[in-house]
Structure 1
Amino acid sequence: MIYNWICSLITCYSSPGCSLTDRIPLPELKDSDKLDKIMYMKESTKRIRLGPENLPSICFYTFLNAYQGLTAVDFTDDSSLLAGGFADSTVRVWSVTPKKLRKVKSAADLNMIDKESDDVLERIMDEKTASESKILYGHSGPVYGVSFSPDRNYLLSSSEDGTVRLWSLLTFTCLVGYKGHNYPVWDTQFSPFGYYFVSGGHDRVARLWATDHYQPLRIFAGHLADVTCTRFHPNSNYVATGSTDRTIRLWDVLNGNCVRIFTGHKGPIHSLAFSPNGKFLASGSTDGRVLLWDIGHGLMIGELKGHTDTIYSLKFSRDGEILASGSMDNTVRLWNSMKAFDEVETDDFTATTGHIHLPDNSQELLLGTYHSKSTPVTHLHFTRRNLLLAAGAYNSQ
């Protein structure tokens, strides 16, 4: 009975039609958030419908002469900003568009601005500080994770120094240093709604935070080794964590309970991605395989083989039709995720434990393999129009 209850609960919470707005407290939408939602809807109307006959274009961002050691990458949801974490303890932010990065004016200059003017948001920015990139100093160890807030006003970074830092992208200064992990923090990610974020580290636990709290709200304990990657469910009610103990755990944000444990990988897990509808999860590992999971039933439903090295990035297209995987083998592979999910019959879920029978159909599901010259793929991102962006540091060795 307990299993069936949890199963129906997660199925409901992963359904786009299920109301979740009052399950966990969320901050009220600001006017800027509402404008961004309108812009998102406009962009969505121009979205390319992807499929086996209509594959996405791929734009690759190669970090040349990254002697500092590129260790983490993230794009904003609107693809306007790019952040990189480096082994020299710095975080760098670039503008991907012609619009340059600017800081807010000094307090003295702000007092001279007409607060009632229509273009007050433009007037508060200091044109003298405009540049294509900014460097953020503060960490005292390699930066292993970076994540933009949905509203593009903040950036999170996690480091070997055991801290997670929150940076303002208006002043390009550190606002808060969150101390809770005692060892390196391998990954951090903002909630899809902002405000909340999650971190995972060498201390074998993941922590849930809120930007206005110094202490974690939840501690997700249960992994037997490092928590290497963290991802929020699209509805923000669940967090998935991947570990070097070769398992993936799904946690309930509201009460901190572990509601799913996925086993099947033969090596440490380094990448996770939820499908846009929230019903499926993809995971990548050092074993070179991408595994697909049905969240509601807690079962593995697909195995995608082809990569020859660790998979560091996974991303579903905006419509969920295609799954992109990026690996240390210098390739990006595109998979027909919709076909993989459609082939799963409800009759296959007769058992409550174990795995359903998996056909070895990787070649049927593989839509394309794209090689970089000598660049391991660190990060993947689909734009709102379904263009695929990839990033990594050129390896000259």
Structure 2
Amino acid sequence: MAAAPDEASESVKTEPELLEDVKPEIQGCADNEEAALGNGNGVSPKPSSPQAAAPAAVTSQAGSSDVPDRQTLLAVLQFLKKSNLKESADILLRETGILDGEDAHCLSPEQHSDTDGAEHSILSRVTAGSASLSSAPGASANSAHGKVSSGPQDQPDVSAVLSAYTQQGDPALYEEYYSGLKRFIESVLDCHRAELSQLFYPLFVHMYLELVYNQHENEAKSFFDKFHGDQECYYEDDLRILASLTKKEHMKGNETMLDFRTSKFVLRISRDSYQLLKRHLQERQNNQIWSIVQEHLYIDIFDGMPRSKQQIDAMVGSLSGEARREANKVKVFYGLLKEPEIEVPLDDEDEEGENEEGKPKKKKPKKDSIGSKSKKQDPNAPPQNRIPLPELKDSDKLDKIMIMKEAAKRVRLGPDCLPSICFYTFLNAYQGLSAVDVTDDSSMIAGGFADSTVRVWSLTPKKLRSVKGTSDLNLIDKESDDVLERIMDEKTASEMKVLFGHSGPVYATSFSPDRNYLLSCSEDGTVRLWSLQTFTCLVAYKGHNYPVWDAQFSPYGYYFISGGHDRVARLWATDHYQPLRIFAGHLADVISTRFHPNSNYVATGSTDRTVRMWDVLNGNCVRIFTGHKGPIHSLTFTPNGKFLASGGTDARVLLWDIGHGLMVGELKGHTNSIYALRFSRDGEILASGMLCVSMHILGESVKYCL
């Protein structure tokens, strides 16, 4: 049964709504403190009232400590009776234990067919102590909205009994509740103050949103003006959005704040600090703050010493708080796949010969490098067939042979041996360049522009050529040794090719490992696959509903990842026009994506200030990294797959240990947003870029400003 919306006033909820509001309180009465704490490894506090959990000595007046709970049960019993749900009423009477033990055992299902006597028994106990309801926040709300009425049978009105839940307390007292908690936290020991101070921001946001949602605009504005200056500086952007939400209608169109209200904000607090908070809320009977803690916060309790402010500041800042500890406990296969055995021919200078003294030269032993993997299987590597990967083509094998040769000759980089740097400048771009990618062999560079075009340049003397037409290809001898050269049309040779197809600015480009394809993503919501043999669009992948900010090829080709404004990342295969996986979990735009070197995982960075790792096999989130104070624009893995680096608008570069799910370092030196990150092939040097380029070498930084 449900009342029509027009029949219910703004301050009184319909009966089904009342029942939904009662459920958390009833569950809280049944749960004990041991159940609320769980096993100590992490809790999301179950709905329970501080009054129900408070010691008997706190409210010892005529046994009135449980009166609000008994009145709530009576209201539910009345509703069940009106709805002809007598069996449910019987079960409620037995399970809650509100009756004497002997009465509960004596009431059989037949005797429960009429619950009037049971209700009268409960009512007599409730009304005996009804005069002692003045200290709870709910009681002040009742007095503000009307007294509890007593009919001929002394049964309180349902709406009056539950007015504390429907109104969520007197809006004029919100400032007092928040100020009281603030004074308490400032008065505790320093070791607990830093941990409990984490409550300020989520409580501030939820209390403000609650005032706005209940259409208390004046109280909400006063509350915001008084306390928004107490929040941490890295929440400024969120507070700016929050300040624009002044009416209930504004909340419906703001996805970020809706997510904040519906998801749980994660706080990591020591057990001692949590007990201090719980005891304070119980003694003050601060139901308003306690209900927010229960409904909207996830308190991850740990045993041990409280964390310092420096430790907390290093991990907080995201839209959803810290990551839950169990979120980073899943095993991740971060090792590299075993490379196929490829024989590397010796160079001419390595062959035996005679030197100037007539002695034969010795062969140079091949060095083990990052390019040539050990034949022994890495214990941290995923099974070879965990996900299907494309087979190596002859051209891929030639590329790997070239990489192995270059790796054998490579000089180890370090502070005393810095790499050489080559810059390419785009002339006459008129600030329209929005994306750049370079092939691994530095033979081509692609740029995405705000005019919806993609341009590809050759970085070698060899010009870009297209394949001949069908009629011309039929005339070519397919058995000739130079067939690959004959199929190219010399008439189309040029240093630059322009690709048309997008209908909005291009935000990212990515070359395939074999240099045969190019990806581009755009504001038009599509990801396009271009052929570098014909320089035409092969496929337009349509799945995102809004602009696509990033797209990246897998190290093995075939797969690619995309992320966009719709707050999800999608895994694609070049031969499927629909996504293979949808990675959903971010609370805001996904603006950076990157494949792990073994292609079994992908990393995503978001404007919700978190980095997530996803398993390609099943689509599950296996890592959540928090610590950034701004949107994350760049990600890169070390070549050995053990570490992940992330950079964002907070001018910080953070290093993450993938195996343990921990932050292992922070690289400082930038003063503005970081838009690019890349490791050297040996993993010894990390280059980061904003308006200048920095190289970080074993804790030392070298900066080249443009």
Fold match by TM threshold 0.5: yes
In the TM superposition, 1:1-397 aligns within 5 A as 8-12=331-335, 17=378, 18=381, 20-67=383-430, 69-327=432-690, 330-336=691-697, 339=698, 365-372=699-706
C-alpha displacement at 1:10, in angstroms?
Answer: 3.2
- Between the aligned partners of 2:426 and 2:383, the Cα distance in structure 1 is 40
Percent identical among aligned pairs is 78
Q: What secondary structure does 1:318 align onto?
A: coil
Q: Which has the higher strand share?
A: 1
The answer to which structure, 1 or 2, has the higher relative contact order (CA under 8 A, 6+ apart) is 1
RMSD over aligned CA atoms reads 1.9
Partner of 1:349: none
Given residue 476 of structure 2, which amino acid in structure 1 is its aligned partner? I
- Between the aligned partners of 1:12 and 1:95, the Cα distance in structure 2 is 34
Range that drifts further, 298-307 or 236-245: 298-307
Segments of 4+ moved more than 4 angstroms: 1-8, 11-16
Q: Is the 8 A contact 2:514 2:557 kept in 1?
A: yes
Partner of 1:343: none
Q: In the superposition, relative to structure 1, how do residues 141 and 4 fare at CA in structure 2: closer, same or farther (>3 Å)?
A: closer
Q: Is the 8 A contact 2:558 2:573 kept in 1?
A: yes
Q: In the superposition, relative to structure 1, how do residues 11 and 214 fare at CA in structure 2: closer, same or farther (>3 Å)?
A: closer
List per-residue Cα deviations over 1:243-289 (Å, max 9, x = no partner).
00000000000000000000000000000010011000000000111
Given residue 693 of structure 2, which amino acid in structure 1 is its aligned partner? V
- Between the aligned partners of 1:236 and 1:274, the Cα distance in structure 2 is 11
Q: What secondary structure does 1:58 align onto?
A: coil
List per-residue Cα deviations over 1:169-209 (Å, max 9, x = no partner).
00000000000001000000000000000000000000000
List per-residue Cα deviations over 1:47-96 (Å, max 9, x = no partner).
23211111111111121210261100001111111000000000000011
Q: TM-score, with normalisation over the residues of structure 2?
A: 0.47
- Between the aligned partners of 1:4 and 1:296, the Cα distance in structure 2 is 13
Q: How many residues align?
A: 343
Given residue 438 of structure 2, which amino acid in structure 1 is its aligned partner? F
Q: Is the 8 A contact 1:218 1:256 kept in 2?
A: yes
- Between the aligned partners of 1:141 and 1:19, the Cα distance in structure 2 is 39
- Between the aligned partners of 1:5 and 1:265, the Cα distance in structure 2 is 17
C-alpha displacement at 1:11, in angstroms?
Answer: 4.7
Q: Is the 8 A contact 1:14 1:277 kept in 2?
A: no
Q: Is the 8 A contact 2:446 2:455 kept in 1?
A: yes
C-alpha displacement at 1:137, in angstroms?
Answer: 0.2
Q: Is the 8 A contact 1:292 1:300 kept in 2?
A: yes
Q: Which has the higher helix share?
A: 2
Q: In the superposition, relative to structure 1, how do residues 74 and 244 fare at CA in structure 2: closer, same or farther (>3 Å)?
A: same
Q: In the superposition, relative to structure 1, how do residues 279 and 108 fare at CA in structure 2: closer, same or farther (>3 Å)?
A: same
Partner of 2:233: none
Q: In the superposition, relative to structure 1, how do residues 11 and 179 fare at CA in structure 2: closer, same or farther (>3 Å)?
A: closer
C-alpha displacement at 1:325, in angstroms?
Answer: 0.4
Q: What secondary structure does 1:72 align onto?
A: strand
The structure number with the bigger radius of gyration is 2
- Between the aligned partners of 1:11 and 1:111, the Cα distance in structure 2 is 48
- Between the aligned partners of 2:561 and 2:644, the Cα distance in structure 1 is 18
C-alpha displacement at 1:38, in angstroms?
Answer: 1.6
In structure 2, list runs of 5 or more residues that go unmatched.
1-40, 42-324, 339-372
- Between the aligned partners of 1:48 and 1:126, the Cα distance in structure 2 is 40
Range that drifts further, 46-55 or 83-92: 46-55
